[in-house]
Chains A and B, each alone.
Chain A
Amino acid sequence: MEKTRKNLGRLIAAPHILWSVLFILAPLIFVVYYTFTDAYGTFTWENIFALKEHANTFLISVSLSVIATFICFLVGYPLAYLIAGYKEKSQKIMITLLMLPMWTNLLIRTYSMMAIMDDGGFLNSILGALNLGKVHLIGTKGAVIFGMVYDFLPYMVLPIYTIISKLDKNLLEAARDLGCNPFQVLWKVVLPLSSGGIISGITMVFVPSISTFYISQKLGGGTFELIGDTIERQFQNVSTYNVGAAISLVMMILVLVSLAVMNRFTKEEAS
């Protein structure tokens, strides 16, 4: 009985395992393989040494992503908190509105942002019409950060909202009962109890931000490169596959380490 159940379990899991091997494990092995070989397939450290040239790009990528993630948190957390405070019906409407842009393809969204922020774009036309001069946005880091925030904000709001909306309302009342003003309720109870959602939100914004290439190409106007762009460029050309793989590998390790650190945080919070 126990055994048949186990076998049944394996059978059900089989497609998933096959999928994982084909599309996660195999590519990973390729990445590692390319990282440590040259164009002829012989072992080399050269690709790792080549990373030095891209140190600056790494730095810009990390800092822009950190800033974007931080802004997402600052905007997203209060938003999630406010939404969770409404009646259930209104909550559903607001969450749908929040997710609505995500139904539009990322590329199209980025293009429309270009149309808005361009030197001759929508925003500048309005400013011009009001005689307020012009602002140059496309090509600045600010524009890239704005693009990241705009594109990935829902990923911050959703996990936080999910946790806050499921918080035991009695806990919030208990906090008020014991003397918390509304701000203290947020600070002393809601915030620590939603730390799991915050961590998920940060991860879900930071990871796509640091690996994006499209946003920086369009909104950055080609004036500077993010690490995603660099990787993409390496893979445009067969001769630089190996360097591209090395950068990808470092990125992956970076993300994995930050995930592990974050997980550690949540576990400590919980215990």
Chain B
Amino acid sequence: MSPLGKRFLQAVCLRAYRFLFFSKFSGKGEALVEHKKIIELQNISKEFEDEQVLSSINLDIYDKQFVTLLGPSGCGKTTTLRIVGGFETPDQGDVLFEGKRINDVPAHKRSINTVFQKYALFPHLNVFENVAFSLRLQKLPNAEIIKRVKEMLELVALKGFERKNVTKLSGGQQQRVAIARALISHPRVLLLDEPLGALDLKLRKDMQNELKKIQKQTGITFIYVTHDQEEALSMSDVVVVMAEGKIQQIGTPTDIYNEPVNAFVADFIGESNIVDGIMNEDYKVTFSGHTFQCVDKGFAPGEAVDVVVRPEDVDVVNVADGMLQGTVTSVTFKGVHYEIIVDIGGFKWMIQSTDFVDVNANIGIFIEPDAIHIMKKSEFSGQYGDYSTFSDEIEELGNSETVGD
């Protein structure tokens, strides 16, 4: 067959495939074809009033994935999302949708819908009309609108709420209406900006599961924004960690947790002890006065590095058997484990252990080679990972500050 004919045939097959699997909600296509890039952010920068909010953001988002932008309040997550949605224009760089530049395509012409942080339901319309909003704009026949709204309300478990006033619904219910409203026109991409931020913990967990389920069922690409690392890890296919307007790391939840690229990521995702170390040679690192076996390589001999050890990977042993020795300064019971703060040569480590130890006890600690993760030094080195000022209260204060943005 001539190359041209082959190309043509390929194109036809692709069309047919798309028609079969993309024109309807379906998760079946996943196994058949490598996901394609649906959104690309290329070298995006954005300033507000002389403040650099985003600096050269490069991000590829693949079709049908659940991608989460994770970072502390003010790091530029919402701005990134708004650029994708078409509500902000980048100062520099391009936004691509399926390979085509869409910088100049207005929001209402993008096949991208948004679930807003504060729901933004139309108060003058009831639940049915809110959900039907985009279908009414498309001037679909009434019978089809009724059918699709019904299906959608079932999907978000709001059957029978059609005639209800949206302002009279609970937060969780409003949230579901917002999701139904955004999904009903079958967008290719759904943007969700801290959609669960206003819900209480229990409801939040339920909604997390439900959102994940809806994403699987519909096969729509989700770009999800949160500052809650637990939420990000449990829901996402891909996590994008952001800080200070820059992307720090892109990876699966496991990668991000096990192999953070710098002190910021290590500290932001879960608990971490981050200490200064020297890489002697491949697989050998010295920190806190002891040389450890490790699994990392590729650093210059004698290179200064940041060493991450997760609290749950540290074993408490007798002083004599320990690779390092320290004094316990506090012990908190956490249900499944004790949270133990140990002073090792002036640096406070956090250890999570199911064994109880006494405050002021001298203990030894043991660390397996694969529990040690080596990172290059970065601008964040030395800012994180010491638990000397740590207390639960401070942790909570920090969290509540980040909630209300």
Once A and B bind, how many residue pairs between them come within 8 Å at the CB atom?
Answer: 62
Q: Taking CB as reference atom, which chain A residue is nearest B178?
A: A174
- Of B5-13, B94-102, B112-120, B327-335, the stretch lying at the interface with chain A is B112-120
Fill in one digit per residue for A63-78: 1 if any B CB lies within 8 Å of its CB, else 0. Answer: 0000000000000000
Q: Which of B132-140, B249-257, B370-378 contacts A (4 or more CB under 8 A)?
A: B132-140
Does A255 touch B at the CB level, under 8 Å? no
**Set A168, A178, A192, A271: member contacting B113, Cβ < 8 A:** A178
Task: Please name all residues of chain B whose beta carbon is closer than 8 Å to the beta carbon of A88 when the two chains form the complex.
Answer: none
Interface string of B107-145 (1 = CB under 8 A from A): 110001110111011111000000001100110000000
Judging by beta carbons under 8 Å apart, are A173 and B185 in contact? Answer: no
User: How far, in whole Å, are A271 and B164 apart by their CA atoms in the complex?
Assistant: 10
Instruction: A171 to B120: give the CA distance in the assembly, Å.
Output: 5
Q: Is the CB of B87 within 8 A of A178?
A: no
Question: Chain A residues near B116 (CB, 8 Å)?
Answer: 170, 173-174
Query: A179 and B134 in contact (CB under 8 A), knowing A173-B87, A174-B114, A271-B165?
Result: yes
Does A176 belong to the interface (CB within 8 Å)?
yes
Residue in A173, A178, A193 whose Cβ sees the most chain B Cβ within 10 Å: A178
User: What residues on A are CB-neighbors of B346 within 8 Å?
Assistant: none
* Complex contacts, B369 vs chain A, CB 8 Å: none
Q: Determine if B106 is an interface residue (Cβ-Cβ < 8 Å).
A: yes
Instruction: Please report whether the interface of chain A is mostly helix, strand, loop or mixed according to DSSP.
Output: helix
Residue B85 at the chain A interface, CB threshold 8 Å: yes
Residues 188-203 of A contacting B (Cβ, < 8 Å): 188-189, 192-193
Residue of A nearest to B181 (CB): A178
C-alpha spacing A10/B138, complex, angstroms: 57
A178 in contact with B137 (CB, 8 Å):
yes
* Residue in chain A with minimal CB distance to B85: A177
A173-B107, A174-B114, A174-B116 are known contacts. Are A179 and B122 too (CB-CB below 8 A)?
no
On chain A, the residues within 8 Å of B165 by CB distance are: 271
A176 with B124: CB separation less than 8 A? no
| Closest A residue to B106 using CB positions | A176
Complex interface residues of chain A between 152 and 181 (CB less than 8 A to chain B)? 168, 170-171, 173-181
Q: Tell yes or no: A269 within 8 A of B by CB.
A: yes
Q: Return B221 CB to nearest CB of chain A, in Å.
A: 16
A171-B122 contact, Cβ under 8 Å, with A177-B107, A178-B137, A271-B165: yes
B120 touches A174 (CB 8 A): yes
Q: How far is the CA of A87 from the CA of B274 in the complex (A)?
A: 46
Asked if A184 is at the interface of the complex by the 8 Å CB criterion, the answer is: yes
Contacts A178-B137, A178-B185, A179-B138 given; does A269 touch B120 at CB 8 Å: no
A269 touching B134 in the complex, CB below 8 Å, given contacts A170-B116, A170-B118, A176-B106: no
Tell me the complex Cα distance, A260–B117, Å.
38
Which listed residue (A170, A178, A271) contacts B133, Cβ 8 A? A178
Contact in complex: B122, A189 (CB < 8 Å) = yes
Contacts of B114 in A (CB 8 A): 173-174, 177
Are B122 and A177 in contact, CB atoms less than 8 angstroms apart?
no
Chain A interface residues toward B at CB < 8 A: 168, 170-171, 173-181, 184, 188-189, 192-193, 269, 271
B-side residues, CB < 8 A to A, are: 85-87, 106-108, 112-114, 116-118, 120-124, 133-134, 137-138, 165, 181-182, 185
Question: A176-B87, A193-B123 provided; 11 other pairs, C-beta below 8 A?
Answer: A170-B116, A171-B120, A171-B123, A173-B114, A174-B121, A175-B122, A177-B107, A178-B134, A181-B106, A188-B133, A192-B124
7 A-B pairs with C-beta separation under 8 A? A170-B120, A171-B122, A176-B106, A178-B133, A180-B108, A189-B124, A193-B122
